[in-house]
Amino acid sequence: MKESQYIWMDKEFVAWRDAKVHVLTHTLHYGNGVFEGTRAYQTPNGLAIFRLQDHTKRLLNSAKIAAIDVPYTQEELQNAQIELLCKNHFEGNVYLRPLIYLGYGAMGVYHKNSPVNVAIAAWEWGAYLGEEGLKKGIRVKTSSFVRNPVKSLFGKAKAVANYFNSQMAKYEAVSCGFEEALMLDDNGFVAEGSGECIFIVRNGELITPPNDNSLESITQATVIEIAKKMGITVCQRRISRDEIYISDECFFTGTAAEVTPIRELDFRVIGSGGRGEVTQRLQDAYFDVVMGKNSEFAHYLTYIS
């Protein structure tokens, strides 16, 4: 990880190496915390955060679902992210990680007696699944772990505890020689990757699963909006993994993953075995949007002065 100079912690800018918490921090033991992943891009008009308002709102929604009372407003958290980027003087593209966690002060499963703390980190970060992956696609394995079912955990919350499921799926996939995992839901239909939404292309139609038991993805919504403006037919419905095998194209989306082609699933080559035509069009269009090169989507960018 490329370290930056400061991390925002409860209204203070703390040196990166000094941003620490107590070993008895409640979230560390019991997993109740929520976070966001947001990107800022170096555009022709300077550094700009992509969909800052939407990501910050989802952060607060996650906290509400997790029954955490946040001591800051949405506007305060948005301003903190802007100030953090200004103070760190970044020269490349940036990833932001706001985290709401339960701090030191009480132990035991009941969480309401613990203080609520907020930290925001930011650092320069490139392609999550690799620059090569963006161009040529990645290899994916269907995980033996199913996506957390809605009758067990809250899928609409970007919660710390939810990602233990993702970690184990990713670990299994990488250990087997793949780059990423695909998780099914408890009914056997495709849910998502370990940290991404999935799309397939069949007969010119773009298809993605609904968010029945997964996070309401901001990047997924962006890609759907872009596709519709390009005249591509979009359908949100259940898909099975064997439908992915016989799809023409397939790709992951997410704040970290951006638009990453999938060239293979479970040793089955998808389409031509590389980045498909529709995928490349959407990928190019997506990067134009986040890089400030498409005026139709300029309202999604918050520029850092």
Question: pLDDT tens-digit profile of 66-119?
Answer: 999 999 999 999 999 999 999 999 999 999 999 999 999 999 999 999 999 999
Mean pLDDT confidence for 181-189: 96
Query: Is residue 297, in this structure, part of any structural domain at all?
Result: no
Both tokens of 166, joined, read 């993702």
Instruction: Tell me phi and psi for residue 96, to 5 degrees.
Output: -110, 140
* Residue closest to 242 by CA, chosen among 268, 279, 211: 268
Q: Residue 117 domain-assigned? A: yes
On whether both 147 and 165 belong to a single domain, the answer is: yes
Nearest Cα to Cα of residue 55 among 217, 234, 200: 217
Does the residue 305 lie in any domain? no
Which DSSP category does 69 fall into? -
Catalytic residue, from 11, 156, 158, 229: name it.
Answer: 158
Cα–Cα dist 104/24, whole Å: 6
Task: Examine the domain organization and report whether 57 and 111 are in the same domain.
Answer: yes
Say how far apart CA 269 and CA 292 lie, in whole Å.
34
87 and 15 Cβ atoms separated by less than 8 Å: no
Asked whether residue 22 falls in the same domain as residue 85, the answer is yes
| Domain harbouring 265, CATH code | 3.20.10.10
Which residue range is the domain that position 106 belongs to?
Answer: 6-124
Q: Is residue 295 part of a domain?
A: no
Determine how many CB atoms are found less than 10 A away from the CB of residue 177: 8
Is the domain of 84 the same as that of 180? no
Q: Which of residues 109, 124, 139 is at a domain's end?
A: 124
Q: Write down the pLDDT at residue 129.
A: 83
Q: Is 158 a catalytic residue?
A: yes
In a domain, 301, yes or no: no
With bands split at pLDDT 50, 70 and 90, how would you rate the model's confidence at 212? confident
Mean pLDDT, the chain, whole residue set: 96
Beta bridge partners of 118: 100
Same domain, yes or no: 89 and 182: no
Measured CA angle at 134 (ends 192, 121), to 5 deg? 70
Q: Using 50, 70 and 90 to split pLDDT, how confident is the model at 179? A: very high
**Count of Cβ atoms closer than 10 Å to residue 141 Cβ:** 22
Q: Report how far residue 278's alpha carbon sits from residue 133's, in angstroms, rounded to the nearest whole number.
A: 16
Amino acid letter, residue 202: R
Q: What average pLDDT does the segment 179-189 reach?
A: 96
Q: How far is CA 211 from the centre of its chain?
A: 14
Q: Do 172 and 204 belong together in one domain?
A: yes
Tens digit of each residue's pLDDT (9 = 90 or more) over 249-305: 999 999 999 999 999 999 999 999 999 999 999 999 999 999 999 999 999 999 997
Q: Which residue has the tokens 């930290």?
A: 119
Cα gap 103→118, rounded to integer Å? 9
Burial 162-175 (b: 16+ CB within 10 A, else e): bbebbeebbebbee
- Residue 149: what residue type? P
103 neighbors 26 (Cβ within 8 angstroms): yes
The per-residue pLDDT for 267 is: 97
Residue 79: give its domain's CATH number. Answer: 3.30.470.10
What's the mean pLDDT in 146-152? 89
Of 101, 124, 147, at which residue does a domain stop? 124
- Rounded to whole angstroms, the Cα distance separating 19 from 89 reads 18
Residue 213 pLDDT > 80: no
In a domain, 304, yes or no: no
Last residue of a domain, one of 76, 105, 124: 124
Q: Does residue 285 sit in helix, strand or coil?
A: helix
> pLDDT at position 265, please?
98
180 forms bridges with which residues in the sheet? 140
**pLDDT bracket for residue 126 (50, 70, 90):** confident
